[in-house]
Structure 1
Amino acid sequence: MSAKKIGFLSFGHWTPSPRSGTRSGQDALLQSIDLAVAAEELGVDGAYFRVHHFARQLGSPYPLLAAAGAKTSSIEIGTGVIDMRYEPPMRFAEDAASADLISEGRLQLGISRGSPEQVVEGYKYFGFHPAEGERDADMARRHTEIALQVLTGQGFAEPNPRPMFPNPPGMLRVEPYSQGLRERIWWGAGSDATAEWAAQKGMNLMSSTLKDDESGEPLHIQQTKQIQKFRQEWNNHDHGFTPRVSVSRSIIPIVSDQDRAYFLGQRDSQDQFGMIDEKTRAVFGRSYTAEPDELVEELATDTAVQEADTLLVTVPNQLGVDYNARLLENIIEHVAKPLGWK
């Protein structure tokens, strides 16, 4: 297997339970920064965070991205994913560029049309409504297309003839501008068609542990076909850079009594198929939970992981920074290195 970038993906769950190591929104944010710092010290390549609104999880990503970027120096800082139904494109471009400049160009922003939410049509509370004839997914793609254009840095806004401060010549762009960020936008694709759309628009591809079931095959086989279709479509366009592809997996090497107590009962999990809303049948990826030798054998047959250049490992963040740092270290030492990923 070829070398890969390996990052962690945290959903940032928190709950005010005495059994949780992450009991408040503040805990979730500060521990996320601490885990990014610890992961960088271990040689992990990326610190990625899920965004969910109206949930006891990580919400607005930009303060977290900026803070993690300021406290680290080499690790990629990313999202997986920002729901573009909720995002004003101009403010998205401003906030993303600001966080990217603070991190000195290390942002990797995963965005998408979003997943089933905590509330009904939550984006409406943020002031967004699909246009007549639009679905919410269409609105997310419309927001995305505007944001991608703004991130090119081309001027489009007519300057005031009597500005408060002197303007540069020509039309104005959103400031600040961060060069290269446009090439570090990823689309979280739930289907083959949206993966191809991402390729058409010049975005990298994220594929998670949840995908539309389009053939009844195991997740890794469906993902492999999705990745191949993405790359085939990419080759039909001249975007000026080579795309990246990530897949997400839950991987727990059982190397201690603590691991056994928490996770051993999950070792026989398989892909699950079911409905995520009234119309969409999906396949949910299995968890890889076993002793290291067994994990190496199982992951060697995961064709989607083989196809991807980046692997995002979901972490049980409520077990605390120390546990998750050890988990990442064990994945690097006992799984990634034997498989030739690192």
Structure 2
Amino acid sequence: MPREGRPLRSLGFLTIGSFDPADPGRGHLDTLEMIQRAEDLGFDTVWLRNRHLQYGITSPVAVMAAAAMRTSRIALGTAVIPLGWENPLRLAEDLATVDLLSGGRINPGVSVGTPMRYDDVKASLYPQTHDVEDFSKERVLRLVRCLRGEPVSDFEGTVGIETFTRSVQPQSPGLADRVWYGGMLDSAIWAGRHGLNYLTSSVVTADTDTGTAAGAPDFATIQAEHIDAYLAHHPNPQQARVSQGLVVIPTDTATADQVERYRTYAASRYERTLTPQGPRGLLFSPDLVGPSDELAERLYAHAGFRRADEVAFALPFSFAPADYIQIVTDMAQRLGPALGWSPA
């Protein structure tokens, strides 16, 4: 539990890897250069978002493969791969291959559910089976079983000069234990029961009676309750891993123009943090913007943060490369140390 006097164990950030559709290669190279910079700054992890049919990373496993060849130490994660778009067996092959190439540095974060805008894409994604696809959590368990080497074929042996196995190849020892699951209260309990790692984010569902003195739901308290529920259902809570993700923007070395833009960005998103949004009752965390000593004080007071000793602070979607460089540099050189963290 992070607190003053106890250091943060793992510092990372999450990026969408946005790009200009007129020059997508440059955008992907910017992401790879940011990962290299993160390793040089001593970050423990970098996490990649996964967006389909958008101008952001659509193939995080491919990007991690490229990043693995440019780095030697930093852990590479996904937050998250939506498994509704994936065949778990094929994804397991790709993840294991990249994990071996990276020396065991891959942290696959996944989610389930009906793919976003499914009615618009289902005929292309699953032409013959879109009405019968199973988008439940069983898809996660299929992936984990493949990563653990459980049989996926009824045949093992040699035919001519070709040798076949019952399990997915290659196998990368330990990868299945580095699978993360992201979600709300029910998902936290389910992830705990199945011994998965747990990713939190800057959104929760207001599915409890928890509120502030004024009666409004309190994001930090709800997130803390989700983490508590996860740990309460984990078979080995002392070994369980929880990563907290909030939008956190340190401004220590930012220019006056950058500070103004960052605060305007946060202000434009603040209204949605006041009350639950939409039919699911989604509650968003306010973006945190300011000098690192101020941010550290606010984080130490955050009930969710106090329950996780790993963080993956989310970078905003639409900033310029120079902004991201300033933000991650201040994270590593100012905010991390203010939280008791030391660079790797």
TM-score where L is the length of structure 2: 0.85
Cα distance in 1 for residues equivalent to 2:223 and 2:45 = 21
Same amino acid, percent of matched pairs: 24
Cα distance in 2 for residues equivalent to 1:281 and 1:49 = 26
Q: How many residues align?
A: 323
Cα distance change on mapping 1:75 and 1:123 into 2, 3 Å? farther
Q: What is the one-letter code of the residue matched to 2:36?
A: V
Cα distance in 2 for residues equivalent to 1:65 and 1:122 = 26
Q: Is contact 1:249-1:287 (8 Å) kept?
A: yes
Per the alignment, residue 247 of structure 2 pairs with 250
Cα distance in 2 for residues equivalent to 1:331 and 1:285 = 19
Cα distance in 2 for residues equivalent to 1:225 and 1:322 = 37
Q: Is contact 1:52-1:117 (8 Å) kept?
A: no
Per the alignment, residue 18 of structure 2 pairs with 13
Per the alignment, residue 153 of structure 1 pairs with 149
Cα distance in 2 for residues equivalent to 1:227 and 1:208 = 11
Give the unaligned 5+ runs of structure 2: 212-216
Q: What is the one-letter code of the residue matched to 1:184?
A: R
Structure 1 residues 152-173: Cα deviation after superposition (integer angstroms, max 9, x where no partner)? 11334233665243537xx621
Cα distance in 1 for residues equivalent to 2:227 and 2:236 = 18
1:115-264 correspondence runs (5 A): 117=116, 120=119, 122=121, 125-127=124-126, 129=130, 131=132, 139-159=135-155, 163-165=159-161, 167=163, 172-189=166-183, 191-215=184-208, 217-234=217-234, 237=235, 242-255=239-252, 256-257=254-255, 258-264=257-263
1:1-342 correspondence runs (5 A): 1=3, 2-15=7-20, 24-113=23-112, 117=116, 120=119, 122=121, 125-127=124-126, 129=130, 131=132, 139-159=135-155, 163-165=159-161, 167=163, 172-189=166-183, 191-215=184-208, 217-234=217-234, 237=235, 242-255=239-252, 256-257=254-255, 258-266=257-265, 269=270, 271-276=273-278, 279-316=279-316, 318-342=318-342
Q: Is contact 1:185-1:203 (8 Å) kept?
A: yes
Q: Report the Cα offset of residue 292 of structure 1.
A: 2.8
Task: Name which of structure 1's ranges 40-49 and 194-203 shifts more when overlaid on structure 2.
Answer: 194-203
Q: Report the Cα offset of residue 122 of structure 1.
A: 3.6
Q: Secondary structure at the match of 1:6?
A: strand
Q: Report the Cα offset of residue 140 of structure 1.
A: 4.0
Cα distance in 2 for residues equivalent to 1:121 and 1:222 = 33
Cα distance in 1 for residues equivalent to 2:140 and 2:161 = 30
Q: What is the one-letter code of the residue matched to 2:169?
A: E
TM-score where L is the length of structure 1: 0.86
Cα distance in 1 for residues equivalent to 2:277 and 2:140 = 26
CA RMSD between the two structures: 2.5
Q: Is contact 1:87-1:143 (8 Å) kept?
A: no
Q: Secondary structure at the match of 2:181?
A: strand
Cα distance change on mapping 1:162 and 1:253 into 2, 3 Å? closer
Q: Is contact 1:54-1:118 (8 Å) kept?
A: no
Task: Name which of structure 1's ranges 211-220 and 279-288 shifts more when overlaid on structure 2.
Answer: 211-220
Cα distance in 1 for residues equivalent to 2:124 and 2:31 = 27
